[in-house]
């Protein structure tokens, strides 16, 4: 064991047992996995990604490039950040991690927050700023990646100040202290994203802060020398942290290698911890470590020290710990994300913020004040040459296993920019994002090219600052909460009656209602038959509905729709078609004239929001003179369609006092009525071609209305039907579905709906019908298809050709838009868009399949009741 008898911020009364690579070990509450491993003399944690070199613990924090572990479903965590708990089961990575095949059962969620001041980093500078802001009455959020507030202070010193300051902040009601939480992205208007680690998952905080104070500290960087990756080589500050904070001796015989003053404190700590300091190698004194030696397990057993200049003799010193400090890099990641500019400070040998931004302030070490880290005087120094010209063991990026040799190859290939070198070598692209490698990359490029470090610069810092899991981003948007599931008021009945559902946009719509073991095909056949021969009932609540009021309502509708509404009297409806300015079909629906200056337009289920947006866009930007108001009432109304030859009998049974004969209530009539004390609006509309009614009621009564219809229709065998039967029925009648027969490139004329395009008035899209392209004779027309074999079902989307062969290239003339088995027709049929289709009625087209050819005869696109006798009966 390498645990000191006393000291550290551990709870020694709470021993904690865990396993590492299957071996049972123990530590104390307050340990990280890294400190506990060191306490148990585990030096080799894993192997590197490409060279498979043994690797150990290099740092004591978030910057760790080496000690990567898998813990449960988390494939790649830093041992320096994992807090040990009883039963923790960790595995050291052999460079790569493996994703678990099991779903992540962790609980992730999201929390929005607002504050006047957000302080990132709870070291001395951050806590000082937080206290000042909080005393001014601001809402303050302090976020820190460690399990405890204090930052570097946790590694020694300032105990009383820390305790007092944290005590004060904790007592303030408008101060929120977030630990184990890493601010990983800073976006426009100070939106800061924070990943909080929680015992059972994590939380994504989205904080909007008026002012951000970045007290993110600084990362110590290593010096680069041959074989600098061995377990036992550690950042000097990390050695101090293990000794002071965790009461662990990471070695027994130490060497210090530095170019600045900060290691003096380490020497004192080593002495207190009874670790022998074998040598201090200071480049300022003209010496450097030029190589290291390894013991059998690959961990450090000694160093080779040589003078920097001249041919002085190299000497070897045995040691198992090497504390390295090459200086400090202010942690400017978030500052740079906020578009803050950096400058190279030659005196400090690092990049520092040029100036704070108007609402993003940088304080403490992050601002370049490295006094707290004791850097003192520094001799800028980056790379120790080896004894020969071999650079293949000088590691720049430990996680990516990239060496100086790789950088030299990049430069040899002509790269000059650090961005190119980064991409060529992968420096800085590991999960640690090169926190200990990035600046060194630039410096090495600079030394190799003989340019100043400041001129070479650093690569762009981009979010996220730390790896963020998909689970965290998804939060609770998973399973049934992944996306809203929209339900109608009649939904409980559908569920109780075993409906199968289809997703239509966000809506769940009954697809079909199977009975006694029926498959889908049998159920749809039965449902279609009921509508054609008896009566069916369907939930049509999902249709989009827009209330339109105002004296210019008629003018408005006439400008939007391809057809005119001038002759539409109050109490009647009319089908309408909408085009965009390009003349292509956009949506369709029925417009009801409800009263003086009062209309209601229905839209397709999926198009409701887009149509309202379209209407509003014209009203608000182009036609501001029109006195019209549109209001969405989609959810206000539930709708029940009653369709079939017996529909009138059912509706009459519900409304015995209302004459429903064709003379009194003709096709496309609308009127208000009452049923059992609740309001019902009656429409005579059809989407099946049969005699049909749509009954609307405020959705509170939707279920009651539906159940009333079912009850009234029972003697007539009323049959609930779903969207699949609806699709078959409307296709038999040649009614289009926008989005199925159209795809944004189809004109009304292509669909054979020239009859609905007004010649007299102006409307959106009209001018496009004068374009050469929209009047091309070889456009694709909507036609019907009868497969020659009446049992053969054409796949929807199948391409069509005039050539009867399957070997490409084959010239295509169109494709199938809808295809069904029809019980009414006793065969399969389809709708298709076919080049010059209307001229090809009676001809044969072919759908090449991988293994065969389906032949089909082109027909008119109406298969049922062309004369509309059933509709108008």
Euclidean distance between CA atoms 127 and 121, whole angstroms: 8
Residue 210 interacts with other proteins (CB under 8 A)? no
> Considering beta carbons, is residue 536 or 553 the nearer one to other proteins?
553
Task: Identify the helix (H) or strand (E) that includes residue 173.
Answer: none
Distance from C-alpha of 596 to C-alpha of 549, rounded to nearest angstrom: 9
Q: What is the DSSP string of 673-715?
A: EEETTEEEEEE---SSSSSEEEEEEEGGGHHHHHHHHHHHHGG
Residues 294, 11: Cα–Cα separation, whole Å: 35
Does 795 bind other proteins (CB under 8 A)? Our answer is: no
Considering only 179, 206, 431, 806, the residue that binds other proteins (CB under 8 A) is 206
Kindly state the smallest distance separating residue 480's Cβ from other proteins, in Å: 6
CA 167 to chain CA mean position, Å: 39
Tokens of 297: 């397990």
Residue 699 touching other proteins (CB under 8 A): yes
Q: How far apart, in whole angstroms, are the C-alpha atoms of residue 86 and residue 70? A: 16
Smallest distance, Å, CB 694 to other proteins?
A: 17
For residue 84, give the nearest of 40, 49, 138, 124 by alpha carbon: 40
Over the window 28 to 67, marking each residue x when it contacts other proteins by CB under 8 A and - when it does not, the resulting string is ----------------------------------------
Identity of the residue, 277 or 626, whose beta carbon is nearer to other proteins in the bound complex = 626
Member of 480, 625, 661, 778 binding other proteins (CB under 8 A): 480
Q: Check residue 550 for interaction with other proteins (CB under 8 A).
A: yes
Which 584-643 residues touch other proteins, going by CB under 8 A?
A: 627, 629, 631-637
Candidate residues 677, 777, 842, 850; the one interacting with other proteins per rule CB under 8 A: 677
Give the H/E segment covering residue 682.
Answer: strand 678-683
Return the structure tokens found at 41.
């003399």
435 to 62, 224, 267, 429, 509: CA distances (angstroms): 9, 15, 25, 10, 52
- Cis link prior to 563 (omega < 30° from 0)? no
Find all residues with CB under 8 Å of 300, minimum gap 6, and list them. Answer: 230, 231, 232, 233, 292, 293, 294, 319, 320, 321, 322
- Six token digits for residue 113: 């927050």
Closest distance to other proteins from the beta carbon of 5 (Å): 42
In the list 12, 91, 208, 518, the residue contacting other proteins (rule: CB under 8 A) is 208
Locate 320 and state its tokens: 């198992």
Per CB under 8 A, the segment of 153-161, 699-707, 716-724, 730-738 that binds other proteins is 699-707
Q: Binders of other proteins among 641-660, rule CB under 8 A?
A: none
Say which residues have a Cβ less than 8 Å from residue 177's Cβ, sequence separation at least 6.
Answer: 122, 142, 149, 166, 169, 170
700 makes contact with other proteins (CB under 8 A) = yes
Q: Are strands 536-539 and 315-318 parallel, antiparallel or unpaired?
A: unpaired
Q: Treating both helix axes as pointing N-terminal to C-terminal, what angle do 647-654 and 702-713 enclose, rounded to 10 degrees?
A: 120
Q: Which is nearer to other proteins, 376 or 551 (CB)?
A: 551
User: Min. distance of Cβ 594 from other proteins in angstroms?
Assistant: 11
Tokens 């298709």, located at residue: 832
Query: Which whole-number Å values give the CA distances from 805 to 523, 844, 847, in the listed order?
Result: 36, 13, 9
3-class DSSP state of 579: strand
User: How many residues in the shown chain lie near other proteins by CB under 8 A?
Assistant: 47
Q: Which residue has the tokens 């005699």?
A: 691
Q: Which of 465, 701, 820, 829 binds other proteins (CB under 8 A)?
A: 701
Contact between 495 and other proteins per CB under 8 A: no
Please report how close the Cβ of residue 728 comes to other proteins at its closest, in angstroms.
Answer: 26
Q: Pairing mode, if any, of strands 342-345 and 300-307? A: unpaired
The answer to whether 72 contacts other proteins (rule: CB under 8 A) is: no
Minimum CB separation from other proteins for residue 701, in Å? 6
Q: Provide the minimum distance between the beta carbon of 475 and other proteins in the complex, in angstroms, as a whole number.
A: 9
Residue linked to tokens 């990390």: 238
Q: How far is the CB of 547 from other proteins (least distance, A)?
A: 5
Residue among 486, 684, 780, 840 that touches other proteins (CB under 8 A):
486
| 547 near other proteins, rule: CB under 8 A | yes
Residue 107 C-beta: closest distance to other proteins, Å = 7
Q: Is residue 493 involved in binding other proteins (CB under 8 A)?
A: no
Per-residue x/- track, 101-140, other proteins (CB under 8 A): ------x-xxxxxx------------------------x-
The span from the CA of 718 to the CA of 689, in Å, is: 17
Binding segment (CB under 8 A) for other proteins, from list 63-71, 460-468, 572-580, 693-701: 693-701
Task: Report the residue from 11, 159, 483, 519 that binds other proteins according to the rule CB under 8 A.
Answer: 483
Q: Is 507 in the site for other proteins (CB under 8 A)?
A: yes
Per DSSP, the three-state class of 288 is: strand
107 versus 838: smaller Cβ distance to other proteins = 107
Please, what is the minimum distance in Å from the beta carbon of residue 836 to other proteins? 43
Among 489, 602, 823, 824, binds other proteins (CB under 8 A): 489
Runs of H (alpha helix) within 534-585:
553-560
Residues that bind other proteins (CB under 8 A): 107, 109-114, 139, 206, 208, 476-477, 480-481, 483-489, 492, 507, 542, 547, 549-551, 627, 629, 631-637, 676-678, 698-704
């Amino acid at each position: 064991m390498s645990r000191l008898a006393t000291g550290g911020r551990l709870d020694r009364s709470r021993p904690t047992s865990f396993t590492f690579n299957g071996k049972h070990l123990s530590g104390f509450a307050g340990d990280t996995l890294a400190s506990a491993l060191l306490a148990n003399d585990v030096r080799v944690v894993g192997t590197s990604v490409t060279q498979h070199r043994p690797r150990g613990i290099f740092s004591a924090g978030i910057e760790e490039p080496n000690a990567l572990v898998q813990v449960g479903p988390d494939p790649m965590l830093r041992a320096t950040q994992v807090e040990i708990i009883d039963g923790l089961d960790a595995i050291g990575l052999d460079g790569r991690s493996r994703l678990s095949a099991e779903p992540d059962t962790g609980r992730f969620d999201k929390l929005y927050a607002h504050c006047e001041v957000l302080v990132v980093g709870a070291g001395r500078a951050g806590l000082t700023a937080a206290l000042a802001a909080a005393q001014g009455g601001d809402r303050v959020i302090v976020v820190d990646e460690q399990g405890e507030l204090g930052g570097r202070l946790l590694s020694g010193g300032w105990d009383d100040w820390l305790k007092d300051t944290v005590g004060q902040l904790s007592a303030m009601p408008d101060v929120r202290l977030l630990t184990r939480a890493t601010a990983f992205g800073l976006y426009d208007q100070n939106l800061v994203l924070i990943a909080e680690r929680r015992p059972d998952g994590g939380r994504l905080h989205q904080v909007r802060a008026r002012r951000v104070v970045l007290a993110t500290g600084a990362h110590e960087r290593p010096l680069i020398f041959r074989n600098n990756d061995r377990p036992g080589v550690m950042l000097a500050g990390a050695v101090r942290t293990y000794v002071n904070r965790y009461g662990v001796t990471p070695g027994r015989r130490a060497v210090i290698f530095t170019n600045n003053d900060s290691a003096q404190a380490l020497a004192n700590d080593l002495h207190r911890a009874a670790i022998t300091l074998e040598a201090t190698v200071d480049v300022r004194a003209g010496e450097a470590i030029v190589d290291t030696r390894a013991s059998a397990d690959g961990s450090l057993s000694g160093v080779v020290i040589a003078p920097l200049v001249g041919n002085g003799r190299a000497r070897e010193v045995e040691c198992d710990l090497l504390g390295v400090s090459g200086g400090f890099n202010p942690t400017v990641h978030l500052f740079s994300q906020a578009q803050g500019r950096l400058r190279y400070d030659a005196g400090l040998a690092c990049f520092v913020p040029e100036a704070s931004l108007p609402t993003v302030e940088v304080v403490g070490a992050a601002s370049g004040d490295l006094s707290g880290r004791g850097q003192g005087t520094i001799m800028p120094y980056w790379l120790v040459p080896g004894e020969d010209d071999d650079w293949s063991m000088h590691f720049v990026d430990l996680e990516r296993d990239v060496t100086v040799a790789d950088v030299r190859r990049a430069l040899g290939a002509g790269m000059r920019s650090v961005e190119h070198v980064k991409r060529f070598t992968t420096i800085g692209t590991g999960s640690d994002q090169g926190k200990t490698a990035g600046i060194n990359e630039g410096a090495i490029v600079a030394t190799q090219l003989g340019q100043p470090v400041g001129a070479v610069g650093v690569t762009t810092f981009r979010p996220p600052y730390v790896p963020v899991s998909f689970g965290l981003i998804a939060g609770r948007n998973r399973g049934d909460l992944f996306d809203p599931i929209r339900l109608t008021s009649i939904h409980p009945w559908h569920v109780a009656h075993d409906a199968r559902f289809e997703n239509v946009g966000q809506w769940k719509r009954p697809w079909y209602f199977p009975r006694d073991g029926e498959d889908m095909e049998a159920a749809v056949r039965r449902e279609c038959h009921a509508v054609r021969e008896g009566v069916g009932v369907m939930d049509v609540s999902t249709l989009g509905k827009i209330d339109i009021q105002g004296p210019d309502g008629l003018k408005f509708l006439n400008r939007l729709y391809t057809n005119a509404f001038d002759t539409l009297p109050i109490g009647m409806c009319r089908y309408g078609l909408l085009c965009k300015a390009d003349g292509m079909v956009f949506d369709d629906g029925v417009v009801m004239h409800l009263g003086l200056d009062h209309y209601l337009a229905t839209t397709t289920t999926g198009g409701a929001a887009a149509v309202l947006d379209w209407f509003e866009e014209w009203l608000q930007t182009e036609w501001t003179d029109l006195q019209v108001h549109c209001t969405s009432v989609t959810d206000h109304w539930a709708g029940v369609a009653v369709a079939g030859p017996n529909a009138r009998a059912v509706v009459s049974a519900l409304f015995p006092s209302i004459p429903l004969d064709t003379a009194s209530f003709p096709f496309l009539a609308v009127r208000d009525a009452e049923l059992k004390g609740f309001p019902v609006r009656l429409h005579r509309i059809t989407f099946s071609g049969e005699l049909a009614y749509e009954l609307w009621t405020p959705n509170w009564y939707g279920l009651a209305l539906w159940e009333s219809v079912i009850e009234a229709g029972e003697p007539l065998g009323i049959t609930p039907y779903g969207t699949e039967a609806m699709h078959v029925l409307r296709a038999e009648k040649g009614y289009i579905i926008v989005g199925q027969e159209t795809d944004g490139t189809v004109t009304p004329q292509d669909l054979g709906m020239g009859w609905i395009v007004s010649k007299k008035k102006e409307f959106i899209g009209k001018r496009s019908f004068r374009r050469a392209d929209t009047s091309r004779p070889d456009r694709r027309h909507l036609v019907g298809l009868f497969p020659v074999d009446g049992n053969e079902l054409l796949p929807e989307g199948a391409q069509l050709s005039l050539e009867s062969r399957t070997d490409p290239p084959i010239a295509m003339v169109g494709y199938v838009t809808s295809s069904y088995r029809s019980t009414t027709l006793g065969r399969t049929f389809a709708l298709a868009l076919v080049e010059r289709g209307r001229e090809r009625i009676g001809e044969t087209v072919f759908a090449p399949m991988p293994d065969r050819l389906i032949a089909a005869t082109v027909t008119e696109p109406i298969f049922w009741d062309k004369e509309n006798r059933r509709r108008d009966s």
